[in-house]
Amino acid sequence: MKDIIPAELRPVYDKIINYERITTDEGLLLYHTENPGFLGNLADIVKRRKNADRVYFNRNFHIEPTNICIYNCEFCSYRKPANSPDAWNYSAEEILDIVRRFDDKPVTEVHIVGGVHPSHDIDYYCKIISMIRNHRPGLHIKAFSAIELDYIIRKSGLSIREGLLKLKKNGLDSIPGGGAEIFDEKIRSIICKDKSSSEMWLRIHEEAHKAGILSNATILYGHMETYEHRIDHMERLRNLQDRTAGFNSFIPLKFKMENNRMKQYGEVNILEDMKNYAVARIFLDNFPHLKAYWPALGKEATQLSLSFGVDDVDGTIDDTTKIYSMAGATDQNPSMTTEEICDLIRGAGFNPVERDTLYNVVKEW
């Protein structure tokens, strides 16, 4: 390992070996290194300290209640106007019908996230999760991004805490990490100018953690942002995690350019993907897990990411999400069987572990 360490990164290497936290400047040094082998090895050290040779997955499915949205983000390939033939808006009963399709399958999680529909309020959301909870009590309900929550809680006239506790009482177990995009306010004003602020995203997740609702965190990378913006984003998350310890995992989401207004930025290559995972794993020392969302990254790149600090590949999904397929993802019908996920993990030299949403072990394969 020492043979491949660039001289300027020896202090960073020494910090990691001695369990010390790196600074933002040192995170930038890692981003600017041209030595992917060094980054992969260093990220692997951090990963194995936390999770040994285990790589996690779960049996899950997604529900996307609507793709009609009050926001019109530049990078979004998913949103449709209400009068579009490609728009949809499911009723609570239609959503429950989707859940019923999995009645005979050993899924442990339903992931619910979609557009911010102008007519949906907190009672609509509570009805959805209450119906699901009553139908299948043991199913973990991970639902509603901070962007959705901001709108419906403001619309209800409740405080953030009151709104979250009302949803929790009706069956909400945890919240996903979507909507974070990039926290830099100047970039946010260009790519998602009407969306909830970075401050609000962080505040909602902090209030959720205080209310006993765990969550994930994301970043949208590979567009107009710089390494400085990525490090700033992760530092804000690291600071919040120091206060609450409420994040389960960090999920870098790759920008995909098809069918949106940011195609001019193209897409970063696989080397950049791996660098981003490695730096995230090293910098976010207080996050227990780093996830590669395989419908966005692709199966082969996901397998490679396991050598760059990733210890989670998400789940089976069963062709229930359209967000990335509409943006040009390789897997247009995203679905993997348990056996396929296990083969992918073993092929990278790791041991597959089926988990629930909170990383309790269901089965070691």
> Is the predicted pLDDT of residue 52 greater than 80, yes or no?
yes
SS3 content of the chain, % helix, strand, coil (to 5): 45, 15, 40
Burial grade of 273 (CB within 10 A; 0-12, 13-18, 19 or more):
buried
Distance CA 251, CA 322 (A): 18
Alpha-carbon separation of residue 336 from 70, 175, 295, 355 (angstroms): 32, 23, 10, 16
Q: What is the mean pLDDT of residues 142-167?
A: 97
Angle value at C-alpha 143, between 191 and 198, nearest 5 degrees: 30
> Is the predicted pLDDT of residue 329 greater than 50, yes or no?
no
> Is the predicted pLDDT of residue 331 greater than 60, yes or no?
no
Question: What pLDDT is stored for residue 209 in this prediction?
Answer: 98
Identify any residues that bridge with 110 across adjacent strands, giving them in sequence order.
Answer: 61, 141
Distance CA 291, CA 210 (A): 23
> Is the predicted pLDDT of residue 214 greater than 90, yes or no?
yes
Alpha-carbon separation of residue 238 from 22, 198, 242 (angstroms): 11, 14, 6
Distance CA 141, CA 126 (A): 12
Helices (H), 211-293: 227-244, 270-283
Give pLDDT tens digits for 219-261: 999 999 999 999 999 999 999 999 999 999 999 999 988 878 8
Closest C-alpha among 85, 95, 10, 71 to residue 195: 71
Q: Sorting pLDDT into bands at 50, 70 and 90, what band is 44? A: very high
Q: What is the length of the chain? A: 365
Give pLDDT tens digits for 72-126: 988 888 888 888 888 999 999 999 999 999 999 999 999 999 999 999 999 999 9
Helix (H, G, I), strand (E, B) or coil at 247: strand
Distance CA 250, CA 347 (A): 23
CB 241 within 8 A of CB 285: no
Q: Which residue has better confidence, 83 or 179?
A: 179
> Is the predicted pLDDT of residue 319 greater than 60, yes or no?
no
Q: Sorting pLDDT into bands at 50, 70 and 90, what band is 3? A: low
Q: What is the mean pLDDT of residues 307-323?
A: 78
What is 55-282+295-303+311-358's CATH number?
3.20.20.70
Question: What pLDDT is stored for residue 82 in this prediction?
Answer: 84
> Is the predicted pLDDT of residue 2 greater than 70, yes or no?
no
Burial grade of 157 (CB within 10 A; 0-12, 13-18, 19 or more):
exposed
* Domain boundaries along the sequence of the chain: 1-52, 55-282+295-303+311-358
Helix (H, G, I), strand (E, B) or coil at 37: helix
Question: What pLDDT is stored for residue 212 in this prediction?
Answer: 98
Determine phi and psi for 298, rounding to 5 degrees: 95, 150
Question: What pLDDT is stored for residue 325 in this prediction?
Answer: 45
Region of poorest pLDDT, from 161-165, 254-258, 261-265, 329-333 = 329-333
Question: What pLDDT is stored for residue 257 in this prediction?
Answer: 80
Q: Maximum CA pair distance of the chain?
A: 61
Strand locations in the chain (E): 54-63, 109-112, 140-143, 174-175, 214-221, 247-254, 289-290, 312-317, 351-355, 361-364
Give pLDDT tens digits for 273-301: 999 999 999 999 999 999 998 888 889 99
Question: What pLDDT is stored for residue 259 in this prediction?
Answer: 77
Distance CA 158, CA 152 (A): 9
The sign of the CA dihedral 320, 324, 327, 331 is: negative
Indicate the angle between helix axes 24-32 and 10-17, nearest 10 degrees. Answer: 120
